[in-house]
Amino acid sequence: MGEDLFWALRGGTCSSFGVVLSWDLNLVDVPQTVAIFNVMRTLEQNATQAILPFQTVARNLPYEVDVRVRISTILSNASTRPDNKTVQLTFTSVYLGPADELYTIIQTNLPEIGLLRSDVQDVTWIQALMIGSFFPLFATNYTPEDFLDRTFLADIPTKAKSDFVREPISEQGINGLWDKLLEVDPGDTTVIFTPYGGVLDEYPESAIPFPNRNGTLYMIYMRILWVGNTTQKLEWIRELYEYLRPYVSSNPRRAYYNYDDLDLGSNNGRGPINYVNASRWGRAYFNNNFMRLVWVKTMVDPHNFFRHELTIPPFSLAMLSNT
């Protein structure tokens, strides 16, 4: 297929270039047992003091450690608010090694989490995916064969947005985030901090189309359930996105393509695609890699047969038109 098309397919939206019939994947070894933990902390349990160092420390942990935090609004009798709402942080980790080592790593680098040795357990890799991954999907009575059931998970409608953080958010900024989350009902929203760093720092942004490598502290995923008063919920998540503007990447403000966000812009339904408009959302997802993707698209699919609202457009003089 050629080096350029192969580069584009790995992170540059396969749907822009054709139909992918198969992939060859290189598997990696994992230990027979891995270590996991899931610990929850609320604002009343010093969650703020735990998240502040997490922003810079988590990306620099050993490569074998994956640790993330899921943030949500819950009801708690310990809350000091009249409505009993508070913010809960769930710190989740999978480590390619024994539980004793993971406990030592977290206690040494992120003692603010307050991890106990009893919080960490040794499991198999498949058990880690079932009960200890970032979104535990199965109860303890399920078996690995349940992964084969593609109808197991409910299709829950959501509106999602994303951001990339390159400088740590201040305590004032974090407290403002808590205030925004407390505006919605418990269970309606989830915000996730996913640290980067590790092996991602070893490759330049141009290595594949996905550019968010060197310099990224973590990605923010934010979502609201798309049920009930959807107009009000859309306004809220847009307000949250605007609130985060001073604290996240800029020029361009970056986004993760797999969380399609049509608020950033989209292609027109018919006719030539305006390049200026396309580059606004294109650079958000792909930064400087967007132009190379346009070039590959022009070589592979110059008539834009494979097209939807967020496909890479081919280059043409018509793209430069403002109409």
Written as one string, the DSSP assignment of 150-169 is TTSS----EEEEEEEESSPP
138 and 279 fall within a common domain = no
In this prediction, residue 306 carries a pLDDT of 92
Asked whether residue 123 is assigned to any structural domain, the reply reads yes
Cβ pair 88, 40 in contact under 8 A: yes
Q: Do 52 and 173 share a domain, yes or no?
A: yes
Beta pairing, strands 65-75 & 189-195? antiparallel
Asked if the structure places residue 199 within a domain, the reply is yes
Q: Does residue 300 carry a pLDDT above 70?
A: yes
Question: Do 131 and 206 have their domain in common?
Answer: yes
Task: Specify if 300 maps to a domain.
Answer: yes
Position 323 scores a pLDDT of 43
For the packed helices 275-286 and 289-300, what is the interaxial angle rounded to 10 degrees? 120
Supply the pLDDT for residue 274.
Answer: 81
Q: Is the pLDDT of residue 285 over 50?
A: yes
Same domain, 248 and 298: no
Domain end: 240, 264, 288, which one? 264
Residues 6+ apart with CB under 8 A from 110: 50, 53, 54, 57, 58, 67
Query: How far apart are alpha carbons 276 and 86 in whole angstroms?
Result: 43
Three-state SS for 195?
strand
Identify the weakest region by mean pLDDT among 5-9, 125-129, 262-266.
Answer: 125-129
CB 195 within 8 A of CB 67: yes
Region 287-301: mean pLDDT is 94
Structural domain includes residue 302: yes
The answer to whether residues 189 and 259 belong to one domain is: yes
Indicate whether 112 and 89 sit together in one domain.
yes
In a 3-state reduction of DSSP, which class is residue 318? helix
Query: Does the pLDDT value for residue 104 go beyond 70?
Result: yes
Question: Does 272 share its domain with 183?
Answer: no
Last residue of a domain, one of 264, 292, 307: 264
Is the pLDDT reported for residue 54 higher than 50?
yes
Residue 72 and residue 13 share a domain = no
Q: Which residue has the higher pLDDT, 106 or 125?
A: 106
259: annotated active-site residue:
yes
Is residue 78 in a domain? yes
One domain, residues 106 and 182 = yes
Encoding tokens for residue 93?
A: 């980790």
Average pLDDT of the chain is: 91
Cis ω on the peptide bond leading into residue 186 (within 30° of 0)? no
The distance of Cα 18 from the centroid of its chain, to the nearest Å, equals: 26
pLDDT tens digits along 137-152: 666 677 788 778 877 6
Going by pLDDT thresholds of 50, 70 and 90, the confidence category of residue 103 is: very high
Residues 123, 160 within the same domain: yes
What is the C-alpha to C-alpha distance for residues 221 and 22, in angstroms, rounded to an integer?
A: 29
Write the single-letter amino acid at 114: G
pLDDT bucket at 159, cuts 50 / 70 / 90: very high
Residue 24 domain-assigned (yes or no): no
Neighbours of 91 (CB within 10 A): 25
pLDDT over 70 at 318, yes or no = no
| Number of domains the chain contains | 2
Q: Which of 257, 259, 275, 285 is catalytic?
A: 259
Region of residue 88 (left: phi > 0; alpha: psi -120 to 50; beta: else): beta
Note whether 174 and 304 are same-domain residues. Answer: no
**Which of the residue ranges 105-109, 210-214, 315-319 would you say has the lowest mean pLDDT?**
315-319
Asked whether residue 38 is domain-assigned, the answer is yes
- 175-186 mean pLDDT: 97
For residues 321 and 65, the model is more confident at 65
Residue 320 has pLDDT above 60, yes or no: no
Q: Is pLDDT above 90 for 34?
A: yes
- Round to whole Å and give the CA distance between 92 and 105: 14
Q: Which domain holds residue 300?
A: 3-19+265-320
Tokens 């980790």 sit on residue: 93
Q: In angstroms, rounded to a whole number, what is the distance separating the alpha carbons of residues 20 and 172?
A: 47
Instruction: Give the number of other Cβ atoms within 10 Å of residue 198's Cβ.
Output: 16
Any idea how long the chain is? Answer: 323
Structure tokens at 71: 């943030």
pLDDT at 13 over 90: no
Selected residue with higher pLDDT from 113 and 227: 113
User: Is there a contact between 30 and 126 (Cβ–Cβ < 8 Å)?
Assistant: no
Lowest mean pLDDT among 104-118, 153-167, 223-237, 287-301: 153-167
Residue 140 is predicted with a pLDDT of 67
Report the distance separating Cα 323 and Cα 321, nearest Å: 5
Would you state the structure tokens that stand for residue 176, as one six-digit string? 């403002």
Could you tell me if 233 and 309 lie in one domain?
A: no
For residue 263, the model assigns a pLDDT of 94
3-state SS of 57-109 is HHHHCCCCEEEEEEEEEEECCCCCCCCCEEEEEEEEEEECCCHHHHHHHHHHH
Judge whether 148 lies within some domain.
Answer: yes
Domain end point (choices 264, 286, 301): 264
Q: What is the mean pLDDT of residues 12-17?
A: 89
In the predicted structure, residue 315 carries a pLDDT above the cut 90: no
Higher pLDDT: 236 or 275? It is 236
Q: What is the rounded distance in angstroms from the CA atom of residue 302 to the CA atom of residue 299?
A: 6
